[in-house]
């Protein structure tokens, strides 16, 4: 694809894969065709699961969705003509919001060997996670690629819940245990979470669960009830704002009870039902599996090195490959061609999801060398921001690059090119710093 015409229509015969970006280390390259927006109607059928909250999200105004973990996932409540996703962003950063995130399927590992099994499949040290606490973790394959980056909840000494990102982990873990024979059961359970996110979330949660909820530490858990239905609460979320997740037990039966009670109690706090706030999670440097990372991504490529301990004595899947990769990296011979960075860049404000992995090039160059995986506009910084993949030798903060944008964001700029610059991640401070931010602040490159 010519750099002089980087953005072409979906019906144009020149929509081809970009070969100038070095993806030689991947078995399945990222599809970098710039096909643009291709509106189609999503078929709602029994082929994909409806979560217990699906109809409630529709009642709340959901007008578009995607598929995540083989479930329909709401991705928009405010229509573009009414302000779109940036109205939802305002509600998140100024008030309080509820998200239907039942797509975070819960895989329970329970039994006498639960701790030992979990310790074998995650890179971090599971023995350091106390009951009624959680951690952000990664699971890697034998080559060190990231299979999933869930929040791991330890409900009791012998019970863990994996709150999954967008890849199926249950079958993989069952397969692991066929060979290893740990004394555990592994199964999805009827638990469906919602997220309560925003500066007023603590007050709303205190109204629902009492003042004790204010004492939950970050990644701490608490048992409670909503409308008489049992839940687990965690102080976690997919933003840098103060937030919580409510995990409803027996969700298929009791979804309406919990959802409607939260809506009613939330009225005085200006609660708004919104889609997951990718605009805010990008600013916090939170990754989206399948969009920013996948099973061919090493933790060292995306600032997740702190998830790979130097001092974990126990064996775990991917340990040998990860230690070898780190040794190569420290010897100045990185085992990959591209690495993730933060970018700020020009053009009109990006106020909706990008339909393609937009291309990144050297200033004035004829060929792309990288791509953006997650772009959005930051009202606080008054600029577009993105997580992007660029060559290892172009990752230094301050590096000048260029982003090739579609027509809708460039107002006819020559070649649709806008200036970009590599910047530090996170892009702005968070009220609730995520694990990556904490590690960066402490200068850590391993999991504590």
- Name residues whose C-beta falls within 8 Å of residue 163's C-beta, 6 or more positions apart in sequence: 104, 105, 106, 150, 151, 152, 153, 193, 245, 247
Whether 371 maps to a domain, the answer reads yes
In this prediction, residue 343 carries a pLDDT of 98
Determine if the peptide bond prior to 426 is cis (ω within 30°).
yes
- Does one domain contain both 379 and 412? yes
Report how far residue 131's alpha carbon sits from residue 157's, in angstroms, rounded to the nearest whole number: 6
- Does one domain contain both 230 and 325? no
More confident residue, 129 or 7: 129
Mean pLDDT, range 249-253, rounded to an integer: 98
- Does one domain contain both 325 and 354? yes
Indicate the pLDDT class of residue 38, thresholds 50, 70 and 90: confident
In this prediction, residue 15 carries a pLDDT of 82
Indicate the pLDDT class of residue 105, thresholds 50, 70 and 90: very high
Whether 179 maps to a domain, the answer reads no
Whether 96 maps to a domain, the answer reads no
Question: Is residue 441 over pLDDT 80?
Answer: no
- Does one domain contain both 227 and 261? yes
- Does one domain contain both 317 and 435? yes
- Does one domain contain both 249 and 338? no
Report how far residue 29's alpha carbon sits from residue 19's, in angstroms, rounded to the nearest whole number: 10
In this prediction, residue 6 carries a pLDDT of 55
Q: Which of 165, 234, 149 is nearest to 447 (CA)?
A: 149
pLDDT digits (tens, 9 = 90+) for 364-401: 999 999 999 999 999 999 999 999 999 999 999 999 99
SS3 293: strand
Would you put residue 301 in left (φ > 0), alpha (ψ -120 to 50) or beta? alpha
Mean pLDDT, range 63-91, rounded to an integer: 97
| Total count of domains within the chain | 2
245 assigned binding-site residue: yes
Whether 94 maps to a domain, the answer reads no
- Does one domain contain both 202 and 263? yes
Question: Is residue 272 over pLDDT 70?
Answer: yes
Indicate the pLDDT class of residue 2, thresholds 50, 70 and 90: very low
- Does one domain contain both 289 and 418? yes
More confident residue, 41 or 78: 78
Question: Is residue 22 over pLDDT 90?
Answer: yes
- Does one domain contain both 296 and 409? yes
Return the CATH number at 263. Answer: 3.30.1360.120
Question: Is residue 133 over pLDDT 60?
Answer: yes
Q: Give phi and psi for 120, each to the nearest 5.
A: -80, -30
SS3 392: helix
Whether 27 maps to a domain, the answer reads no
Q: How far is CA 434 from CA 346, 428, 431, in A?
A: 27, 12, 9
**Domain limits at 204?**
191-269
- Does one domain contain both 328 and 249? no
Report how far residue 331's alpha carbon sits from residue 291's, in angstroms, rounded to the nearest whole number: 30
pLDDT digits (tens, 9 = 90+) for 154-206: 999 999 999 999 999 999 999 999 999 999 999 999 999 999 999 999 999 99
Question: Is residue 7 over pLDDT 90?
Answer: no
Indicate the pLDDT class of residue 39, thresholds 50, 70 and 90: confident
Report how far residue 405's alpha carbon sits from residue 415's, in angstroms, rounded to the nearest whole number: 9
- Does one domain contain both 196 and 304? no
Mean pLDDT, range 427-444, rounded to an integer: 66
What's the whole-number average pLDDT of the chain?
A: 93
- Does one domain contain both 335 and 416? yes
pLDDT digits (tens, 9 = 90+) for 217-245: 999 999 999 999 999 999 999 998 999 99
């Amino acid at each position: 694809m010519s750099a002089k015409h980087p953005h072409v229509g979906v019906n144009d015969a020149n929509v081809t894969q970009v070969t100038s970006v070095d993806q030689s280390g991947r078995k399945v390259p990222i599809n970098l065709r710039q096909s643009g927006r291709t509106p189609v109607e999503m078929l709602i059928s029994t082929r994909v699961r409806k979560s217990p909250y699906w109809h409630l999200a529709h009642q709340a105004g959901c007008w578009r969705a995607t598929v995540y973990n083989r479930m329909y996932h709401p991705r928009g409540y405010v229509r573009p003509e009414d302000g779109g996703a940036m109205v939802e962003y305002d509600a998140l950063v100024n008030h309080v919001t509820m998200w239907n995130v039942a797509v975070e399927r819960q895989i329970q590992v329970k039994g006498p060997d639960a701790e030992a099994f979990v310790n074998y499949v995650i890179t971090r040290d599971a023995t350091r996670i106390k009951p009624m606490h959680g951690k952000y973790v990664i699971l890697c394959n034998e080559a060190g690629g990231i299979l999933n980056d869930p929040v791991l909840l330890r409900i009791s000494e012998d019970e863990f819940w994996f709150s999954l990102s967008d890849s199926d982990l249950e079958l993989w873990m069952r397969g692991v245990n066929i060979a290893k024979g740990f004394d555990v059961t592994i199964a999805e359970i009827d638990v469906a979470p919602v997220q309560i996110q925003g500066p007023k979330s603590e007050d709303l949660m205190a109204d629902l669960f009492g003042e004790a909820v204010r004492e939950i530490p970050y990644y701490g858990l608490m048992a409670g009830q909503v409308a008489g239905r049992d839940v687990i609460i965690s102080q976690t979320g997919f933003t840098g704002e103060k937030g919580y997740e409510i995990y409803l037990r027996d969700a298929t039966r009791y979804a309406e009870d919990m959802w409607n009670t939260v809506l009613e109690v939330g009225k005085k706090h200006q609660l708004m039902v919104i889609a997951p706030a990718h605009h805010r999670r990008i600013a916090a440097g939170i990754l989206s599996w399948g969009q920013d990372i996948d099973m061919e991504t090493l933790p060292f490529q995306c600032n997740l090195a702190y998830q790979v301990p130097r001092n974990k004595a126990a064996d775990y899947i991917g340990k040998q490959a990860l230690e070898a990769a780190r040794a190569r990296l420290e010897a100045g011979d990185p085992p990959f061609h591209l690495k993730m960075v933060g970018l700020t860049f020009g053009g009109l404000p990006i106020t909706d999801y990008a339909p393609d992995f937009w291309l990144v090039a050297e200033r004035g160059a004829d060929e792309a060398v990288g791509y953006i995986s997650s772009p959005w506009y930051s009202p606080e910084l008054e600029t577009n921001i993105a997580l992007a993949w660029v060559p290892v030798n172009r990752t230094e903060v301050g590096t000048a690059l260029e982003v090739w944008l579609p027509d809708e964001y460039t107002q006819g700029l020559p070649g649709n090119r806008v200036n970009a610059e590599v910047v530090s991640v996170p892009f702005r401070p968070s009220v609730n710093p995520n694990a990556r931010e904490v590690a960066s602040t402490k200068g850590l490159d391993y999991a504590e």
